[in-house]
Each structure stands twice: as structure tokens, then as C-alpha cells.
Structure 1
């Protein structure tokens, strides 16, 4: 579902690409149903940086500064949300990356106690909440962060 700019002429469409392990945010010109700019925010691999791509083969469009600033603010929020865990200590980033890859970011209630024990053996207790939230969106008590 597109997220419209207040002036109504532009919108941002956000989608996740599983093959790319990345969020795509596209700035669209609503009337022409045309993508103008695409931001790609990888959320699995700490070595891949976010990028912004312009459609060089399309007709030139002047995008107002306030619209471009609005788009880049949304991209910045996505980067902070998707990649915040990558700013942790390198050894924690590696544990999180491995857990996300192994479990695809999802873990069932029945698996949680065993995985929790494994993570506790690997990381200091003080880091446990950050690792579990980044890897599975859960707290050490098993509840979901957003629930």
C-alpha cells in the first residue's frame, strides 16, 4: 500500500525482496503511476550498504526538494529500523546474522527455550535482549517485542 506525500502527487511504495534480503522503497509519481527513485536497504548482510537508484532511461522529472527530503527521511527511518542491530559489537552482529540465516528470523514457541539456552551460552546476559530482538523480535521471556 503506497504511503502518500501530503501534497498527494507523490507516494512511497515499500516492499521486501526475499531473494535480495532487502527492503525496497520506491518514490512514485502518483498521476503517472511511475517510479522515480528506488532505495534498497539490505537487512541481512552487514557488508552490503543501502543504495539509491534513479531511472536513467525515463523522462526527466523535477522532484521538489521537500518531496525528496521526505523520501530520504523515510529511507533513513528504514535503515535505522532494519539495520540497527548491525551497529552492535562485531561478535554480536555475527551471532545475530547466523541466527537470522539459520531460523529465517522466525522461531516457534516450542523452539524458543532451546534456542534461548544456546544464545545464553554464546552471549553475555546483558546483550541477550538486543540479540533476541534483532534475530527474532522477541524478549528473553519469549514475548514478542511488538506484541
Structure 2
């Protein structure tokens, strides 16, 4: 569902591309039903940076500063939400990335005990909560957050 800008002339559509492992945020002109700006936020590979692209079109379109600022604030929030774990220590990032690739961000309750036991042996206790949260959306006790 698009997020409308308060003035009603623009909206943001957010979608996830599985093949790209990235979130796509589109700034759309509502009346013209066209995408003006596209932001791509990869969420699996720390080596890939977010990008913002102006979409080509027949007509130039002036985007009001307040609208562009609103869009970039939404992009910034998506970057923080989906890439926040990438700012952790490199060895923790490697563990999280490996778990996300192996389990695709989800783990069934019956598979959790052996994985949790391996993590407790391999990851310092201070990092266990971050690893569980960012790999599975769970706390160190296995509860879904």
C-alpha cells in the first residue's frame, strides 16, 4: 500500500525484490501515475551500497524540496531498519550474514535449540542478542520479537 505525502500529489511505494535482496522505494507522482525517483536498499550484502536513481521520462518534472526531503527521510529509515546490523563488528556481521543466507531470516521452533547451542559456543554472550535479532527476529531466549 502506497504511503501518501501530506499534500496528496506524491506517494511512496515500497516493495522487496527477492532476486536482488533489496528493498525498492519508489517516489510516485499520483496524478501522472509515474515513478520519479527510485531508491534501492540492499539488505543482505554489506558490500552493496544503497543507491538513488532518477527515473528517465519524456518530461522533466520538478520535485518540491519538501517532497524530496520526505522521500529521503523514508529511505534513510529503511536503510537504518534493514542495514543496521551491518554496523556491528565485522565478525558479528559475518555470523549474521551467514545465518541469514542459510535460514533466510526465519527459523522454525524445532530447529532453534541446536542453532542456539552452536551460537552460544561461537558468539560472545554480549553479541548473542544482536545476532538472534538480526538473523531471526528473535531474542536470545528464542522468543519472536
For the criterion TM > 0.5, the same-fold answer is: yes
Q: In structure 2, what is the equivalent of residue 123 of structure 1?
A: 123
Corresponding position: 1:29 with 2:49: no
Corresponding position: 1:135 with 2:135: yes
Give the Cα–Cα distance (whole angstroms) in 1 for the partners of residues 58 and 44 of structure 2: 31
SS of 1:14 mapped into structure 2: strand
Give the Cα–Cα distance (whole angstroms) in 1 for the partners of residues 92 and 102 of structure 2: 15
Aligned-residue offset at 1:144: 1.2
- After superposition, the Cα gap between the structure-2 partners of 1:64 and 1:134, relative to the gap in structure 1 and judged at 3 Å, is same
Q: TM-score, normalised by structure 1?
A: 0.97
Q: How does 1:1-147 map to 2 (within 5 A)?
A: 1-145=1-145
Aligned-residue offset at 1:58: 3.7
- Which stretches of structure 1, 4 residues or more, deviate above 4 A after TM superposition? none
Structure 1 unaligned residues grouped into runs of 5+: none
Structure 2 unaligned residues grouped into runs of 5+: none
Aligned-residue offset at 1:92: 0.3
Give the Cα–Cα distance (whole angstroms) in 1 for the partners of residues 47 and 82 of structure 2: 14
